[in-house]
Amino acid sequence: MSNLKNTTIPVIFQEQVAKYGDRACVAYRDKTKGQYVDISWNEMDRMVRNLALFLLSAGVKKGDRVGLFSPNRPEWWIADLAILSVGGVNVPIYATNSAEESRYILANSGSRICIAGTEDHLARIIEAKKKLPGLKTLVIIDNVRSSNKSVITMADAMKKGESYKKKGDLDKRIKALKPHDLATIIYTSGTTGDPKGVMLTHENFISDARQINNDFRDYIEDTHVLLSFLPLSHSLERTAGYYFPLFAGCKVAFAEDFSKVVDNMNEVRPTFIISVPRLYEKIHSVILSRLPEASAPKRLMFRLAMATAKKNLPYVCKEQQAPGLLGLRVKIFEKLVFSKFKKGLGMDRMDFAVSGGAPLSVSDAEFFIGMGIRILEGFGLTETTPVTNVNPPWNVKPGTVGPPLSETRVKISDEGELLIKGPQVMKGYYKNPKATAEVFTKDGWFKTGDLARFDEDGYVSITGRIKDIIVTAGGKNISPQNIESSLKASKFIEQVAIIGDRRKYLSALIIPAFDTLEKWAKSKGIAFSDVNDLVRNPEVNRMMQEEISRLMKSYARVEQIRKFTLMNAEWTQDTGEITPSLKVKRRVVEEKYRDEIEAMYPGGGGD
């Protein structure tokens, strides 16, 4: 890997272009050809330079902010590298954001140019531009013509950049960059109030990649192929799924969208992926939902294979071969079951997978790791660029987020909050010194807002978010995440939100795994015409109560779910309950489903 000390992102990119030249840098799925097409490092450099020269011609100065409003695609990288190469600051906007959300980010950041992905994104920015006098130029990546005089296509912008006379100015800008120059402002997807702009420098990103490289050097090869599907607007994908493979010389293929990840994995067959638990939950749930359709011998084979996988788990976690009879059984089931699953999922070349952003249930971890697909759970926040902790491949501990990275210090406050110090910690919140001061202790530790504990090896377990802690009417403090993670171990439960703040007992809003539930209902002869019939059916609700009781056996009496309501539709970003990083917006859920919640507390649920 390139030297990652005292340097900047564009300098490293130029070093990699010189090293790899015509080798594939990225790949995208060409819909007209129906297959993945490579783009070389040299071709990426040509496009980056031409777009950067256009930005120079448009008068972008060092420190100027440029908005980037697009789904994942090669042009996201090109735009980012062009912005950074001229000394600009990339202000990414989630592709799912509304016109008003985009307007706030562009206004707060003072962006004077915005690069939009599709015609729909452009339309949202044009609508927002009415209230943005400082926004002068709009660039659209798709080759879509607009009557708006402020709009130029990326293709035309590159042509304009190619004809720019003072080409040497670009290399001067790149050479003038400093590691502590601002690289980006990422606006957090807050559930209440306006989002805060997290200021991250070149060194923030590079130091995180450097630590990952130093700590996992023996596992990193430039022959790795990664599939990119988490939003590049999020710091996890930005660091671990973009800058890190770029610095390591790996090839990155872009998924079409999250709904097609498994299809794209089968085409790309990546050697590693970066994901949030939602993907692993979905895959596990789909496999379990199809099991009842299998023949009795196949169902028996699956159960025996999973029992073997569970026993094999400690050995996979330590990179060891299971001994004796267990080792023989692992080999047999690898050939008969595990290899077929992995090939069907496009995971047959997978060296390891990373999970972050939220807790991964132990059942999901056991399912994949036991089959030999090591999921390395980690931890971080946008404010820490984001990775601070991750499980090492040679000593995986499911249920933990691993030890801190080599240049990162962690400790737990007297109140149980995880505190961080390290070179990846943000510069602060943009134009918000008050909020910045609130998240740092007097001696400079970043306050994560997460409750945590250490084990004897220094591995960290996250036990909950301070702001999400439920305080019952009886004064008991309860972390909902652990309970929710346990409940999602059921093949019948897709999503869940625990309710109970200032209430006498806990309740739950549950989104069933509808495919699995429908198959179960048909097997039981339960008549239904749609999901509304299903969620209201007494037999379905009895079964779900049995599932909840089974999964909650180890919890204290005060943590038991006394009542629950089955919902009739999945929570999504479009319907407002999920953030772009796929976390439940608790306050939105509690407000939106107030009637359903109140129905679980007859006579009032408070004091």
* pLDDT at residue 193, rounded to an integer: 62
- Distance between CA atoms of residues 499 and 483, nearest Å: 11
pLDDT at 285 over 90: no
For residue 65, CA distances in Å to 53, 105, 170, 172, 461 come to: 16, 11, 17, 19, 37
Segment 119-130, tens digit of pLDDT: 999 999 999 999
* pLDDT at residue 405, rounded to an integer: 98
* Residues 310, 338 contacting (CB under 8 angstroms): no
Lowest mean per-residue pLDDT among 36-50, 184-198, 337-351, 481-495: 184-198
* pLDDT at residue 601, rounded to an integer: 94
* pLDDT at residue 586, rounded to an integer: 87
* pLDDT at residue 292, rounded to an integer: 80
Confidence of residue 108 (pLDDT cuts 50, 70, 90): very high
pLDDT at 192 over 80: no
Q: Which of 232, 264, 242 is nearest to 70 (CA)?
A: 232
* pLDDT at residue 189, rounded to an integer: 66
SS3 563: strand
Segment 128-169, tens digit of pLDDT: 999 999 999 999 999 998 889 899 999 999 999 999 999 999
- Distance between CA atoms of residues 210 and 25, nearest Å: 20
Confidence of residue 605 (pLDDT cuts 50, 70, 90): low
**Tokens 């869940």 appear where?**
496
SS3 24: strand
Segment 60-89, tens digit of pLDDT: 999 999 999 999 999 999 999 999 999 999
* pLDDT at residue 257, rounded to an integer: 87
Q: Which of 416, 480, 478 is nearest to 451 (CA)?
A: 416
pLDDT at 258 over 90: no
* pLDDT at residue 36, rounded to an integer: 97
* pLDDT at residue 556, rounded to an integer: 87
Confidence of residue 194 (pLDDT cuts 50, 70, 90): confident
Max Cα–Cα distance, the chain, nearest Å: 76
DSSP 458-495: S-EEEEEEGGG-EE-TT--EE-HHHHHHHHTTSTTEEE
Confidence of residue 604 (pLDDT cuts 50, 70, 90): low
* pLDDT at residue 583, rounded to an integer: 80
Q: Identify the structural domains of the chain with CATH numbers, from first to last.
A: 9-177+216-272 (3.40.50.12780), 469-599 (3.30.300.30)
